[in-house]
Amino acid sequence: MTTLRQIHSHVLRSNTLPSFFKAFALFQIVGFCALSSSGDIKHARAVFNKLKNPDIFSWNSMIRGCSLIQNPSNEPIYLYYKLIKRGYPNPNSYTLAFVLKACAIILAFKEGWQIHSHVYKFGLDSSPFVQTALVNFYAKCEDIGNARRMFDEIPERNLIAWSTMISGYARIGFVNEALSLFREMQKEGIKPDEVTMVSVISACSSSGALDLGRWVHAFIDKHIIKVDLELTTALINMYARCGCIEKSRELFDAMPKKDTKAWSSMIVGLAIHGLAEDALDVFSKMLEANVKPNQITFIGVLSACAHRGLVTQGQNYWSNMIGYGIEPLMEHYGCMVDILCRAGRIEEAYEFVETMPISPNAIIWRTLLMGCKKKGMLEKGEIVAKRLFELEPVNAENYVLLSNMYAANSMWEKVSWVRKKMKDSGIKALPGCSSVEIGGFVHEFVVGDRSHPEAKEIREVLQDIAERVRQAGHDPWTSVVLHDVGDEEKEGALCEHSERLAIAYGLLKTKSPVVIRVAKNLRVCPDCHEVTKIISKVYEREIIVRDRVRFHRFVDGACSCKDYW
């Protein structure tokens, strides 16, 4: 930049340079300042704003450059609209691709959708560069239908197009579709790179598909794909999120160089497995290695404290975070509320929320409401629920929580009132959904599911489970079935929970010592948690369940959470 400023000064002062050359030089200065890693976007803006007739290269450079900054805004979209408003005759494929990329980064769906119409207006719909940008835009905005349609319209798909589709499927948890596309990519003879493999690994992570993740890892080794820092970190994250924390730690320990993202991934991974002491030990080693923690690091540290009930330590780490100059995000406030609520310190948590410098979001109020329900604090719970409904008036989970709190106190009239309110508003509760990976394919079950091709066989295993669990002396915790029905019906409802169906299918299709790994979209209910402990003992099977909050590892009648969850 020092050299460039000298050149810029010379261009402006010279009286001998032709005007067309001066203009050309200024266009190049804009391009360097906007796009180079050693450039300066502020200098680019200053030069660009003084240009009388910037060429398309300058416009493109500014649109692209403004989307590369650390905290991108809608500036690239504004520049594009300014270009169109000026009646510029020929925006090219780079113009459209760059502005679509900018829309994808800030998830500006409405604007990107409008720009898509410009693609046809300017006759650029056959440009591979623009087509790939459209796939990326729709995939990042999670409009997977349009992303796939754009992808299918590309006659000759390059590596970037394949990677962008795969990444889109992975982002929304469509693991089977992502891996199917990956296999299709291989048939087409397209060799994947480390960027593609990060997306494939991410797909395995989101679904908890460990066997598939292992296969992908072996594929990486077999095809000698470059394993860079980002891919190694993705593998660490995948093994942790798939319930194999030992392999995750092994990869982490073998890394010759670890950046903040790698350290943070390991800390978060240990935290969600309830290994708080290990997570905090890794954090100490991170500081010893002079690697500066970031906001994600402290989310992992505070989560570790929450899962182990380490209130004092959590408060100390909160102070340390402020000391590092890290401004707390909403997630950090949420972790502190979670720490206090799990420890039963609801009043303290409520006071913490009331004094937050930023307005608490629905997740924080929902955490408080769950704490009130657990402690039986009905009056405080109603106050919290009111604040929650103000933020999310149509979120079914909020109504279900309030209904459950009333049901736990046998207040059936109020339960009926909440459910009527849901029905009148057209609000439907999210059903419990669990998945289990068998033979490289992810099988999904919802509560009471009878749609599986082997439903009859699964029911037979469920009956066997019920009998063995009863013989082990377990009485179903019918109090967690929050309906005003008889105990027999409540027992039947518990047996139909999605995680039990997934575990039953795992028992049906695999034999010991194969570990049964289940992923669930909601928290595990107390009765299913107790029953799974018994199953692990009487069937002599290790069972790992990943619910919405953490991992539960069931071995020989005990759970890794030590019943603190």
DSSP states of 254-288 = H-SS--HHHHHHHHHHHHHTT-HHHHHHHHHHHHH
Q: Would 27 be classed as within a structural domain?
A: no
Ranges of the chain whose pLDDT falls below 50: 479-490, 492
180: which residues sit within 8 A by CB, 6+ positions away?
A: none
Is residue 152 situated within a structural domain?
no
Using alpha carbons, select from 238, 227, 292, 305 the residue that is nearest to residue 269: 238
Number of domains observed in the structure of the chain: 1
CA atoms within 13 A on the CB side of 555: 7
Domain presence at residue 319:
no
pLDDT value, residue 325: 87
Task: Let me know if residue 532 belongs to a domain.
Answer: yes
pTM assigned to the model? 0.78
pLDDT of 483: 45
Question: Would 524 be classed as within a structural domain?
Answer: yes
Q: What is the pLDDT of residue 485?
A: 40
CA–CA distance, 93 with 111 (Å, rounded to integer): 17
What does residue 434 show for φ and ψ, rounded to 5 degrees?
Answer: -130, 150
Domain contains 118: no
Quote the pLDDT of residue 489: 45
Token readout for 44 is 């680019």
Strands across the sheet containing 551-555: 441-446, 433-438, 516-520, 543-546, 551-555, 558-559
pLDDT at residue number 482: 44
Task: Residue 501: give the domain boundaries.
Answer: 434-559
> Is 261 inside a domain boundary?
no
CA dihedral 416→480→462→565, nearest 10 degrees, is: 130
The closest alpha carbon to 431, from 466, 392, 400, belongs to 400
Q: Is the residue at 516 inside a domain? A: yes
Cβ atoms of residues 161 and 135 within 8 Å: yes
